[in-house]
Every structure is written in C-alpha cells, then in structure tokens.
Amino acid sequence: MKKKTNLEENYPQHKLVIIGGGIVAAIEAYFAYLDAKDKNTPIRVIIYEKNKALSETTTSHLVPSLTPDEIFVVPRGQELVKLLQSNEICVDDEEGIYKSEVAEQFIKKLKEYSTDEEGHQIRTKTLLELGKMSMKLWQHIYDNADSKLKAILEESNFNPCRESKTVEGTLHDGYRIDLIYKDPNAKRKASTMISNYQELGYINSKVLSPKEVMEKDLFLTDFCKANSTIGEHQWKEDVIALWRPGGCIDTQVFLPKFYAYLSDVMGRYTNQHGELKPCFHLKFDRNVTGVTYSSPNTISGVLFFDRPAKAHKHQYDREEYVFCPGESVGTLKKLGFDEPAYSGFAGVSLKLNIRVNEKILSKYKQFNHYMEIHQEGLTLAWQGRVIDNMIFIGAAGAKSFSSDQKPHKDQAFARNNNLLQLNVMNEILPQIISIALGRNTEGQQLTAEDLIQLEQNGIAERWVGIRAVAFDGYPTIGAISNSNGLISNARCTTHLGSCGASFAPAAVHVSRSIFSQQADIEDLTNEVLSFGKTMR
C-alpha cells in the first residue's frame, strides 16, 4: 500500500532518466547526485534496466580489471581486420555470422578506418589518456566517499590503479602482477606495455623475475617454478611477468550495494498525491523500445515492450535522458538515433566458488590477488580471494566477433573458452584446482568432463554475453541525434566494449560535459567528444 503523508507536493526540479542498469549507469547516477548535492538542487534519477534482476546483467558475471588500457582487449584497426579475415576472432559455431547487415556495415567501416594509421594512433593516444583520467577518478571516488560508500568499495574488492605509495612496491597499492605466457612474443609485448605505462606517468612499470613474483605473491609459486629456469631466476622463452599499474573491483558485489546506497542518500520527495517517493529508483524488466517527443528534437518519454506509456506525467524544469545500453547491441539505431557501425563481441566468464575446511582456509586466509593473464590471442581479467569461507577464482575474457547474434553458454564457443579458462586456472593455481576436483591436477590438461563435474557440484558458474563495440573501437559518448538533428535533452555513454568498469568514470565525466555550464572544457574532453560522436 502506498504511504499517504498529506504533505505538500515537493518534486525535484531536475529529472534524469538512464536507459541501461550496468556500471556506467551507476556512475551516471552517482555523478548526477554529487552535482545536485553540490548545487543544492535535488534531482530525481530513474534507471530502466531490461533484465529482471541485477544478477542477469553482464556486470554481475565479470571480474573487472581497472587499467588505463582495458579498452584494447578488443583488437582495433588493422589488427582486427587481419583477425577477422583469418577467422581467428569470431564465434565459430554461429552460422552466417558475416552475412548480416550489421556485420557487413561493421566490416566495411572497419576496413575504411584501418587505412588511416595516423588517425588510429591519435585515437589510441586519447584512449590511453582517457583511461588514465578514469583511474584518477576511481581514486577520487574512493578518497571522497563517505564512510558508507568507502565500506562498500572495500567490501567489493576495490583496488586502485595509481602510483604506489610504498617504496618496496607491494600488492594492493596501485600496481599488480600480470602474467604473459604461451606467447612467443611475450618479451616484445611486455616491452610495449611498459613503454605505454611509463609514457602515461606510471614510472615503476617493469619486468619481474620469477623470484620477484614469488616474493610479492607466494600463491604464484607453482606457476613460477613451472615456467622458469636457472633456479627460478629466469623465465622460459615464452613467459614473462610485469609489474604494472592496475586495480580491480568486484561488480557483482558492488552494484547491488551501490544502488542501495544511492537510494538511501538521495532521499525522498513528495508527489502530487502526498506520497513519499524515492529520488533514486532502479526499475527492472523495462525493455525500452521507443521514445516520444514533445518537439522533433526534444524527448518527452520512453516506451516499453509490453507496458503502457505513463500518462499525466509531472513537468520538470529540466528532464534529461542518457542512453547506456552496453550489452544491448544496436540500441541507438533501434530507437531511431544515429549510431556508428557496430557489432557485438562475445565474452565468456568462469567463476569457481570452492568450499573448504578450516585447515585449508587458514592456509589461504591471505589469498587475494588480481591480474590479467595474457596468452597469444587471449587476455583474461582475473580475481582470486577468500569470500565467505570459500576460495573464489574468476576469469573473464575471450572477446569474439558475434555481429548481431546473441551467444548462449551451451554453444561450443562458450564451452571451449570456459574449458580454456579452467586450464589457465589450473596452470596458475594447481593446488586450488586440485581441491576443487578432489585429485591432483598439477601438470594435467583438464577436460570437458572436469568442467561438467565442477558445474554439477555447484562449484563452477559459466556465462557468456556480449558487449557493443563501434567499428573504430572508440566509445560513443556525448550528444545524440536523429534525422531532425541533435537532440536537445539527451546524450549517450556507450560502446565501451570490454572496459565498462575501467572507463566508466571518465566516459561519464566527458559525456556529462555537453550539458555543463563550464566555459572551458579540457582539450582531452573535446577530443573524445569529437572522436566519439554518433555521426562517424
């Protein structure tokens, strides 16, 4: 029953409607709240999420890495052209994947883009700078959070990406260990990565020896011994380890707590019926299928699949719309807006939750690391720690071209990549995988039967989903338009591909700037808005 208060109507002056409920939408809502709080002008924020629960969203199935170069997990430019031509980066059991209009337009624009190597390098540089801005903003969010939000971030395994505060360089202080192995170009790849990080100002980036890795993270001892020579002093030819800027966040834990926090801190308003209503509202099962206009260039509302449009809406002084569809490929175009040529890229994740006895738990009570695993043609984001008296390991990645097709976890593509992820886990942490499977797995090649066993025993959680990517690998940020021109009260923050968590704060900051009252906008923001416009 609705609570009657008999209070005088007291609507906020400003309403923000966000389409999409992932990490980008969450940061959009938070930045809107901070701005309203700073200006002492209450705001109402509504998020429309097409899934029926947060547990169904892409964000809930990932183990996000926080790095300034996360967006490059999906190849770009000439590299992507070569991979598509050789069929090395597609969902290979999906028929006709290259024959759809979406695929043809994407590949056509990609090939055109790939001929401009100078322009590609300029865009690459701005993306790295945008990534560094986002790392600073994540740190700023933590540093300026109240005690409740700071606790939520810590519970969500938030680790920053920044210069270390300790001289000796320990884990959980801005830097982390990344592993590159089974890659004949491992040393060259490491050199390129270190050069990029140092140019961004991360001056402590370097190669680590096997001995140095074990000193920083004893849980990587088995991997180091198996992949080194000369008494753990030198890596094998196709292996190397990096000390590089990087953090992480567990979005499966973070998002529900963060949305509950926003609902609490944003307060209540009184509607025309004298009822108290939350200023922040996350609404599930809202599949937006259209928009309504009060004029050719001003949005007045949204339409939902299988739901009636709301009548007799309150008129706000300002009403803005921001589209953050992320996993919903082609949303802008479907809603009648301009959208650059796009494609879905499928990603696969595997999470293990291993219940152990007190003796084993005491051995692993300090287990908490995060990294990226690089092999030839593969990058996996990785988190491992103890949660609720269980050992947790999660790995996600394997981005593959899927056009406008939606993959499912029982396809060969998904199962094969989950098995690959399981074998990577066994190569890095064989003692833990041995516990999970109840036998010694060190040095063994695990099979599909092992994966099935873990899933049937409730240990393994497999998932596959998609992310929308534009032809140039650049986010689409800022103003949106339709056949009548620019929309006066709407913008977008989308096409972030694999870097939704990493780049969310900076992407939102740039996107919000188009309605900013600031006289001067920094050069990087202007460049990103230019490169990321919908009409490109």
**What pLDDT was estimated at residue 294?**
94
Inter-residue contact 111 to 83 (CB < 8 Å)? no
**What pLDDT was estimated at residue 6?**
53
In a domain, 94, yes or no: no
Given 229, 245, 261, the domain boundary residue is: 245
**Residue 501 in 3-state DSSP?**
helix
334 and 483 inside one domain: yes
407/526 Cα distance (integer angstroms):
36
**What pLDDT was estimated at residue 232?**
75
Please provide the size of the chain in residues. Answer: 536
Q: Encode burial over 456-469: b for 16+ CB neighbours within 10 A, e otherwise.
A: eeebbbbbbbbbbb
Residues 6+ apart with CB under 8 A from 521: 513
226 and 276 inside one domain: no
Give the tokens for residue 360. Answer: 């084993």
295/368 Cα distance (integer angstroms):
54
Q: Say what the pTM is.
A: 0.94
In a domain, 25, yes or no: yes
Q: What's the domain count of the chain?
A: 2
**What pLDDT was estimated at residue 4?**
47
209 and 256 inside one domain: no
In a domain, 114, yes or no: no
In a domain, 184, yes or no: yes
Q: Which ranges of 86-116 does DSSP label H, i.e. alpha helix?
A: 101-114
Give the tokens for residue 124. Answer: 């690459």
In a domain, 259, yes or no: yes
200 and 269 inside one domain: no
277/267 Cα distance (integer angstroms):
9
In a domain, 203, yes or no: yes
**What pLDDT was estimated at residue 139?**
98
CATH number for the domain that contains residue 494: 3.50.50.60
Give the tokens for residue 23. Answer: 């990490």
Report which residue type is found at 194. Answer: I
239 and 282 inside one domain: no
* DSSP class of 481: E
**What pLDDT was estimated at residue 93?**
63
| Phi, psi (degrees; rounded to nearest 5) at 209 | -80, 165
Given 245, 261, 288, the domain boundary residue is: 245
310 and 267 inside one domain: yes
Given 225, 245, 265, the domain boundary residue is: 245
Residues 6+ apart with CB under 8 A from 338: 332, 480, 481, 482, 534, 535
219 and 276 inside one domain: no
**Residue 46 in 3-state DSSP?**
strand
183 and 259 inside one domain: no
237 and 257 inside one domain: no
236 and 267 inside one domain: no
Tens of each residue's pLDDT in the chain, 536 residues: 344 445 567 999 999 999 999 999 999 999 999 999 999 999 999 999 999 999 999 989 999 999 999 999 888 999 999 888 888 788 876 667 888 999 999 999 999 999 999 999 999 999 999 999 999 999 999 999 999 999 999 999 999 999 999 878 899 999 999 999 999 999 999 999 999 999 999 999 999 999 999 999 999 999 999 999 987 789 999 999 999 999 999 999 999 999 999 999 999 999 988 899 999 999 999 999 999 999 999 999 999 998 887 766 889 999 999 999 988 889 999 999 999 999 999 999 999 999 999 999 999 999 999 999 999 989 999 999 999 999 999 999 878 999 988 889 999 999 999 999 999 999 999 999 999 999 999 999 999 999 999 999 999 999 999 999 999 999 999 999 999 999 999 999 999 998 999 999 999 999 999 998 665 678 999 999 999 999 99
In a domain, 519, yes or no: yes
223 and 166 inside one domain: yes
Instruction: Give the residue carrying structure tokens 């529900």.
Output: 256
Domain that holds residue 173: 162-245
Inter-residue contact 422 to 434 (CB < 8 Å)? no
